[in-house]
């Protein structure tokens, strides 16, 4: 599976799932009418990632490495994009991720994607 084809480390495009803004956004935001959980939901697109029949999205692990440590979170939603080889992975940004550059990679079925860099706002 690859989050970006052809390179081993690169800047990757992630979008805030609710606003469809590209990075640089905070790990938590005020979102009226969306409940008490203010953490940003991020959509990441990967190639060659497919869940097995009956498998839950939590089988996909998103690993973020920031200046204040490593965070592993499970995907909240994983779905194939029609008429393409892409899969959309939605995850919740962890509470404590530090502002600045953050490396992101996916893991599933004993495989790990290549990594890419995103930016977290303060």
Residue 52 sits in a domain whose CATH number is 2.60.40
Q: Which residue has the higher pLDDT, 25 or 49?
A: 49
The chain-wide mean pLDDT, for the chain, equals 79
Domain count, the chain: 1
User: Could you tell me how far CA 62 lies from the centroid of its own chain?
Assistant: 6
pLDDT band at 57 (very low <50, low <70, confident <90, very high): very high
Does the residue 3 lie in any domain? no
> What is the maximal distance between C-alpha atoms in the chain?
41
For the CA atoms of 113, 117, 80, 38, what is the dihedral angle to 10 degrees?
Answer: 130
pLDDT tens string 31-45: 555 567 778 888 888
pTM: 0.75
Dihedral sign of CA atoms 12, 16, 21, 26 in order: negative
Q: What integer is the mean pLDDT of 71-92? A: 92
Quote the domain boundaries for residue 87.
Answer: 9-120
């Amino acid at each position: 599976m690859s989050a970006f084809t052809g390179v081993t480390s690169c800047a990757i495009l992630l979008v805030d799932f609710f606003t469809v803004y590209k990075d640089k956004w905070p790990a938590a935001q005020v979102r009226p009418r969306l409940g008490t959980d203010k953490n940003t939901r991020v959509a990441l697109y990967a190639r060659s990632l497919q869940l097995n029949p009956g498998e839950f999205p939590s089988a996909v692990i998103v690993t973020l490495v920031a200046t204040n440590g490593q965070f592993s979170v499970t995907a909240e939603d994983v779905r194939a994009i029609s008429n393409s080889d892409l899969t959309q992975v939605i995850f919740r940004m962890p509470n404590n991720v530090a502002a600045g550059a953050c490396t992101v990679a996916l893991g599933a079925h004993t495989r790990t994607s290549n990594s890419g860099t995103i930016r977290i706002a303060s």
